[in-house]
Each structure stands twice: as C-alpha cells, then as structure tokens.
A and B are shown apart, each in its own frame.
Chain A
Amino acid sequence: MEMKRIIVSHDNINNHLDDVSTSISKGKVTTIIGPNGCGKSTLLSVLSRSNIPTSGTASLENRDLVMFKPKEFAKKLAIVYQQNEVPKDLTIEKLVGFGRLPHKTLLQRNQEEDRKAIDWALSVTNLTDKRHNDLEALSGGERQRVWIAMALAQQSEILCLDEPTTYLDIYYQIELLELVKSLNEDYGLTIVMVLHDINQAIRYSDEIIMMKNGRIIAEGRPREVITKDVIKEVYGVNAVFKEDDELGLYMMSLGI
C-alpha cells in the first residue's frame, strides 16, 4: 500500500495528519507507534478507508482506495477496532459469519466456502470449542479474538488492528500478539497495527512507523527507528536500551 502526501483535517484548522507519505510492505508486520494524539489511529483509518484524506492519495495495488467498491475492498483489507459493542444474543459462529459478507452477492453464496472460512477463522483464533457460545459470556481476551476471527473470515490479504492489546491483561496481550505473529508467519497476512507498548512493537514488528503531531518522525526496522534520541524527541523520555540473548533489544525508560 502506498500513501502519498496525505493530509487529514477534521476541522480545516488543525491537520491530524500533516503531509504523510509512506508505504506498507506486503507480507510484513508494520506497527505504528507514537504518543497519544499523534495521528497513529488516523493513519490506520486512512489505510482502512474509514477516513477519506482531505488531500493526497492512498492506494492499494496501484489503485486509489476510493475507487474500490465496499465489498471489493473488504476482500482486500480487514480491520479490527479497539473497542466494540457486544451485540446481545449472538453466538460466536454467527458473528464470525458476518465476516463472509463481502463474498456474498444477492443471488450467489457459496456455503461450502463460507463454512470452510469460518472454521478456519475459529480454529486459528482457538475458538472452535466455543463457537456456539454467546458473545456476552466471554472474557475480554476472548472477545478480542472473536473480532479478529470475524476479520479473518473476510479472507483478506491485509489485516489492520487498532490498539488490539489496550484493554487486555498482560497474559492476553501476549497471547494476542503471538496470534498476530502466527497469522503473519504461517498464513502470510500483511499486518498493520497500532500499539502503545514500545517493547512489544520492537519484538513483534518487521517495520515501525514512529509518529508525532501528525507527522512521521522515523520509519524502518525497529533497531533503526527506536533509538535513544528518537524516544527522547517523540516521547520526551530518557531511555536506555539493553540487548538480551533471548529477547533481543529492549528498552527501559529512566525518567523525564
């Protein structure tokens, strides 16, 4: 995906994205990080077409995103939002089945293919045993996996996740990031996500986009992007970096 000179302004005074150009590599895990209000979620919303840029173009396979029909685009890209209202009286299987909508037309539906896609989405997210359970009965970590399963049922090549770990306990955070990793490694999905935790971003990303005030400050491989100077500039925090044999690079914040 390519983004060229994107400007997004909700009120025509402040730019929430200010002349942003970047590209998302196919088959990689790209993570957008930065302080609150830096425009990382806005960038994701432009990529996922829920926000149309005020100026500039976002394109996929050399086609402007606005040229795609809704269902056609939903077959290319799926997104999981940070918070979702949980509908009443709906089983996991039914909700995941909603993800098949882009593959249905008024007259044509391939039930065999739908069933396969739903089964796959449920097994990858480890929800097969609970498929007939109601959503309301699930824990936070499980609910997040259900929404991911719905996105997976779309069978898109690109999966976007907006702060997927924010409201989860540490156990479920790791579980979720491992799931994301395996979706990328085992099934070749291109992942674009927004994360808060810098160490998680280092550990689970191929590429990092670091943002501040609606602009991209640095981008590239985690080791190149996340340095002492960049962290000081973007977050205003003094940090040290250590290398661990097993973990690789990790960061400790010292003070402000």
Chain B
Amino acid sequence: MRKRIASYVIVSLLLVVTIVYSATTGSIKMEFFEFFGALFEQGNSQMEAVRDLRFPRMIVALFAGAALSVSGVLLQSVMRNPLADAGIIGISSGAAFVQLFIISFFPALFFMTPLFAFMGGAFACFLVFALSWKSGLSPLKLILVGIAINAMFTGLTEAFISFGGSLNVSASSVIGSNLTMRTWSDVSTIATYGTIGLVLAFALYSWCNLLVLQDKTAKSIGFHVARARLLIAAVAVLLAAISVVVAGVISFVGLLVPHIARRLVGYDHKVLIPFTALLGALIILLADTLGRTIVAPLEIPASTLMAIIGGPFLIFLLRKE
C-alpha cells in the first residue's frame, strides 16, 4: 500500500518537473520565474511562440503517452498476454493505413479520420485475435501473428506512399511519429477522444480484473467473457487509433509502461490503469523533450527513442517467458 502511494506521488512529481522543464527548454529558453511571470500576461512574444508551438506539442505527447500505455494494459488483459502492445501487433499500423487511404481518396472526409483510424485498428485487432485464437492466445504465437500483421500494414502504407507521391499527403507523419508542428486543433482532437477513452478504460477496471480467471471459471460465476473482451478491446483500439491520428505510430510504450507500472503498484486494474496513464504521459513527454534537446537543433522523434529502449526490453521479456 505504501509502495503504491509512494509510486503515485513520485511519478506525479516527476511529471510536474518534466512539464516545467519541457515548457522552458528548447530553441526558446526561459528562466523558471520568467516563464511563470509570462504565463499570466499577454503580449510577451517569446511566450506567444511557446504557447502556439510548444504547448500543443507537449499536450499531445502527454495524451498520446497515456492513451498508448492504457491501451497496452487493456490489450494485455484482454489477450491474457503480457506482450501485447498496439504498436507491435499491428493495431497502430492498421489504423495508420486506413486513415491514410481514406484521406487520400476522400479528402472531404478528413474530419472523420478518427473514425476511420478506429476501424483500421479494429480490423487489425480482429485479425490478430482470429489468427492466434486456435493456439489459445499463447504469448509467442500472438506476437508472431501480430508482427506479421504489423509488417503487412506498414508495407501497404509505404507502398501507398511511393505510388501516390502526387496525392499530396504528408505521409511521413503517418509512418513514423513526429510531434513537431502540432496545433491546438490536434490538441482538441486527442483531448476529446483521449479523455473519453481513458474514462471508459477506468470504468472497465473490474472486468479487466475478472479476466485473470480462465474462461470456464469466469463463465461459471456468470461473467459475460466474450462481451467484456469485445468492449475492452474496442476501448484499447480507440486509444491506440486516436494516438495514431494525432501523434503517429509509437511502438513499445504500451509494452514498457504497463510492465513497470505492475512492478510498482501491482495487478489491480483500479490502481493500475490511472497509474499507467500517468507514467505513460511522463515517459512520452520525457522522450519527446529529450529528443528535441539533446541533439538540438536536430530532433530525434519520440517513437525512435522508444524503439531504441523498447526493442531490448521486448527481448528481455521474451527470454523471461
């Protein structure tokens, strides 16, 4: 119990520190007190630039981190598989491909991209489920199927971009993730759908807890296993898809963060889901801030940093299995 409280307090503090550091560091540098002074006054030109460019980017990073991490928790619960992550098993790339496809051919439907991304992610999720169901969702089989699905959608996306150079799509933002040039309209998209997804995820915590039981036992106490799986997976896909729409594909967050979170606060989803959201927000904001400061004026995308850390971590987990 004390470990839980301590973990919450420390991560919250780190989050605040990182937010302040991130807001004051970069191509425009501000002193801490100067920043706070400027925060509440109009007309400071430096502060206007920060407000227009840096704040949206930070908020997008926070929401994307929280959404992807919680999406990982939900997928791991629903697939009863510690290795599930929206990026690794192809949900994100499925969302990215369908989104790209729709806005290339039907640009008028641009405002509905979250919906199409959701459908693409749901389709990929369905494929992974259907193809690894027979093996009883064994962790390794599921990962292999997922990697294949991911490769397929990533390949389709790349092919699409090379064919359609004339289609006038900013494709690089779809394949990789780059958080530069985010706007307040991006913020409002991810804040709206992200909040909905996170609230729904928390509302489902008792179902996530019940899914540790084997199906036959869960059924015997009157639990609708299939219905619970479907709904939890849908929320997981929503969270992953909305991150893809606004921040691009970032893999491994959904794997890394829930694992660390379980170590710190345990397996009860009532505590785990909010904590994972906090920790995920912290990690992605940190990755993005480091990415734009350590080799400035160049930038390393947060997704690249996550892949560099996440790859070895996945190998470590696979060896433990």
Residues in chain A within 8 A of chain B (CB atoms): 48, 50, 69-75, 78-79, 81, 84-85, 87-90, 94, 98-99, 101-102, 147, 150-151, 154
Contact = CB atoms under 8 A, between A and B. Distances in A.
25 contacts: A48-B220, A50-B220, A69-B222, A71-B222, A73-B222, A74-B220, A74-B221, A78-B220, A81-B216, A81-B217, A84-B217, A87-B212, A87-B267, A88-B212, A88-B267, A89-B262, A89-B266, A89-B267, A89-B268, A90-B212, A98-B213, A98-B221, A99-B221, A101-B222, A151-B220
A70 B221 CA distance: 8
Contacts of B267: 87-90
B213 to A, nearest CB: 7
A28 B260 CA distance: 51
B221 A102 contact: yes
A50 B219 contact: yes
Given A73-B222, A90-B267, A102-B221, A50 B210 contact: no
Interface residues of B, number: 16
A70 to B, nearest CB: 4
A75 B221 CA distance: 8
A98 B210 contact: yes
B9 to A, nearest CB: 21
Interface string B263-275: 0001110000000
A101 B267 CA distance: 19
Nearest to B224: A70
B214 A84 contact: yes
Contact of A70 (B214, B216, B219, B266): B219
B271 to A, nearest CB: 11
Contact of A101 (B214, B221, B262): B221
Nearest to A100: B221
A170 B213 CA distance: 27
B132 to A, nearest CB: 18
Nearest to A73: B222
Closest 4 CB pairs of A and B: A74-B222, A71-B222, A87-B212, A89-B267
Contacts of A70: 219, 222-224
A172 B214 CA distance: 24
Contacts of B214: 81, 84-85
Contacts of B217: 81, 84, 147
Contacts of B262: 89
B266 A79 contact: no
Interface in B205-258: 210, 212-214, 216-217, 219-224
A102 B216 contact: no
B231 to A, nearest CB: 13
A180 to B, nearest CB: 17
B57 to A, nearest CB: 37
A74 B223 CA distance: 9
A50 B216 contact: yes
Contacts of A89: 262, 266-268
Contacts of B222: 69-75, 101-102
A98 B219 CA distance: 12
Nearest to B219: A50
Contacts of A150: 221
A101 B213 CA distance: 13
B277 to A, nearest CB: 20
Nearest to A87: B212
A151 B213 CA distance: 13
Contacts of A74: 220-222
B217 to A, nearest CB: 6
A72 B221 CA distance: 10
